[in-house]
Amino acid sequence: MGIRIQELDPVIMTDDQIHTPVLLERVIELLEPSLREPGAVLVDATLGMGGHSAGILERFPEVTLVGLDRDPDALAIAGERLARFGDRVHLVHTVYDGILDALDDLGIDEIQGVLFDLGVSSLQLDRVERGFSYSKDAPLDMRMDGTSELTAAVILAEYSEADLRRIFRDYGEEKLAARYAQKIVEARADKPFVRSAELVDVITKATPVAVQRQGHPAKRVFQALRIEVNQELAVLERAIPAAIDALAVGGRIVVEAYQSLEDRIVKRELQTRSTSSAPAGLPVELPEHRPELKLLIRGAELADDDEKAANPRATPVRLRAAERVRRGS
């Protein structure tokens, strides 16, 4: 197998820890026409534990997979899970905006399919020590790639009150961003934040009781910190256009997003590339102005009740897909 990363330590997972991939059958249905092409290559840009990839490789025995992930633990698990597919699999340790470099290193000029299953993975949520969950006390880490330097603790210690307010507002869509930023700066003057429970305590005390009844007060702050630590939105803004550029004509992109900020970026890029760029009033649309993409789903598709019951992680998913119909200029 072409695992193009440093030697990985084995990670043992039991069957009940290998989570069911979200909307697997629907994803396969959307990708199938392009993956039937001879020599088809699929990029799983958010490989995780390899659930989607395993299902696709089983269904399409001629497909070659390029799996990308920034998390070495996920790559180790996926490597074990996908080993039976031999040299049809190439795993790359990279953030998904590195898709074009990864393909170039593998000598692949174009691909027939690309899948993004965005957000924090089940593996990362389940590892308490990674610090992603506000409901369990853990070090304030939140790195998807443990080899990177920026952690949630560093942000809480070093960012100004204005910057904390900005990320809580912009990345968490938190209405109490200003209050939380102020209280965090006041608290860190006495003692730096080290563990998640310390942050949850400050946020909870700063939250009116009526607001607490609407949901856990730390949820949006933790989301904002995770996005900032991993630069998720900036990476996504680069990754979606790059993935589309890598698609052959007839190739397809499928994206599963779990919160509105991600979905907004995906929606904007797919809509832009599926709309004619011809100036208004032209009597004839010139070929260079024709859309590059054809949308395969109107709006965003949601999971049905059966899917949600079988796989609760599917509850917030927004699914979008498009086919490339023309090369860009």
Q: How many CB atoms lie within 10 A of CB 315?
A: 13
* 304 assigned to a ligand binding site: no
d(CA 263, CA 253): 14
The tally of CA atoms less than 13 A away on the side-chain side of residue 299 is 3
State pLDDT tens for residues 223-270.
999 999 999 999 999 999 999 999 999 999 999 999 999 999 999 999
* 245 assigned to a ligand binding site: no
Least confident of 104-113, 170-179, 269-278, 285-294: 285-294
Which whole number is the average pLDDT over 173-202?
97
Same domain? For 242 and 113 the reply is yes
Same domain? For 270 and 139 the reply is no
Same domain? For 244 and 220 the reply is no
CATH number at residue 318: 3.40.50.150
Q: Is residue 217 part of a domain?
A: yes
* 112 assigned to a ligand binding site: no
Q: Is residue 71 part of a domain?
A: yes
Same domain? For 32 and 179 the reply is no
pTM of the predicted structure, to 2 decimals: 0.89
Q: Is residue 329 part of a domain?
A: no
Same domain? For 192 and 237 the reply is no
d(CA 79, CA 280): 51
CATH number at residue 197: 1.10.150.170
Identify the top-confidence range among 15-24, 189-198, 276-285: 189-198
Query: How many distinct structural domains can be found in the chain?
Result: 2
Q: What is the mean pLDDT of the chain?
A: 90
Same domain? For 269 and 133 the reply is no
Count of residues for the chain? 329
* 258 assigned to a ligand binding site: no
Same domain? For 110 and 242 the reply is yes
Residue 42: domain span: 2-117+232-324
Same domain? For 217 and 261 the reply is no
State pLDDT tens for residues 76-118.
999 999 999 999 999 999 999 999 999 999 999 999 999 999 9
> Cα angle vertex 127, ends 203, 306, to 5°?
90
**Taking a C-beta distance cutoff of 8 angstroms, is the pair 68, 43 a contact?**
yes
SS (H, E, C) the chain: CEEECCCCCCCCCCHHHCCCCCCHHHHHHHHHHHHCCCCCEEEECCCCCCHHHHHHHHHCCCCEEEEEECCHHHHHHHHHHHHHHHHHEEEEECCHHHHHHHHHHCCCCCEEEEEEECCCCHHHHHCHHHCCCCCCCCECCCCCCCCCCCCHHHHHHHCCHHHHHHHHHHHHCCCCHHHHHHHHHHHHCCCCCCEHHHHHHHHHHCCCHHHHCCCCCCHHHHHHHHHHHHCHHHHHHHHHHHHHHHEEEEEEEEEEECCHHHHHHHHHHHHHHCCCCCCCCCCCCCHHHCCCEEECCCCCECCCHHHHHHCHHHCCCEEEEEEECCCCC
Same domain? For 64 and 36 the reply is yes
End position of a domain, from candidates 176, 208, 230: 230
* 96 assigned to a ligand binding site: yes
End position of a domain, from candidates 206, 230, 254: 230
d(CA 153, CA 141): 6
Same domain? For 194 and 267 the reply is no
pLDDT attached to residue 147: 84
